[in-house]
Amino acid sequence: MGDYPADLHEWVTFDDEDGDTWQFDLTFLTSNYGCIYGKGCPGVFTELAPDYEHGCCTYGAHFVDKEDRDSIRAQIDRLEPGEWELAERAEEMGGPIFENDAGEWVTRTVDDACIFLNRPGFERGAGCALHQAAVRRAERPLDWKPDVCWQVPIRFDEHTDDNGHTTFILREWKRRDWGEGGAEFAWWCTDDPLAFNEDRPVWRTSRDEIGGGVGGGGE
């Protein structure tokens, strides 16, 4: 019997009462993965750059739909002075959210990072202004952030075959899920043991995100 593939994962699969199939990446969900933003994360550049403290915020966020955009606009209105470093810059640019030339709704970027990212040296600390605001209010960050931002590094996929059968998949967000640009990253968190240091499994630490992805909102 040959060697197992290096990236071999175990899965749990079942059908629900509607006949849809659910697949869960058991290997990732039971792992001790944990986000290391602010704790040496090298970022998603073509070279390692932990001092920038960009995490995976370098390229800004792409919005899923109008509901996603409206939700973020509502949270922006809740930000207080001093919570968002680039608030004035965003106003000068016509707002932090815009439709790009490809017809995609995205967050603006400033100096090669998302406009919502508070930079090193900011008095409230580096990190996503929306995430930080949620934590200060003892609210869930996923209720404050664009969908893609709270999902990473958990990936939710939905596939419907030619017979109309739907399969829902919850797995780790792999480098390839970023598209062609992902191959150029000098580092990606789910590839490296550096990000596997939590004392609890992903299914516990990311309970809200998993619930949001499968439709339960984490409740």
pTM of the model: 0.90
Tokens of 110: 């400033």
Task: Look at residue 140 in the predicted model and tell me its pLDDT.
Answer: 96
Q: How far is CA 119 from the centre of its chain?
A: 18
Task: Look at residue 7 in the predicted model and tell me its pLDDT.
Answer: 80
Q: How far is CA 200 from the centre of its chain?
A: 19
* Kind plus residue range of the DSSP H or E element containing 154: strand 154-160
Task: Look at residue 219 in the predicted model and tell me its pLDDT.
Answer: 43
3-state DSSP assignment of residue 98: strand
Task: Look at residue 5 in the predicted model and tell me its pLDDT.
Answer: 62
CA dist., res. 46 & res. 21, Å (int): 38
Task: Look at residue 1 in the predicted model and tell me its pLDDT.
Answer: 46
pLDDT tens for the chain, 219 residues long, are: 456 566 899 999 999 999 999 999 999 999 999 999 999 999 999 999 999 999 999 999 999 999 999 999 999 999 999 999 999 999 999 999 999 999 999 999 999 999 999 999 999 999 999 999 999 999 999 999 999 999 999 999 999 999 999 999 999 999 999 998 999 999 999 999 999 999 999 999 999 999 998 875 444
Contact predicate 172/28, CB 8 Å = yes
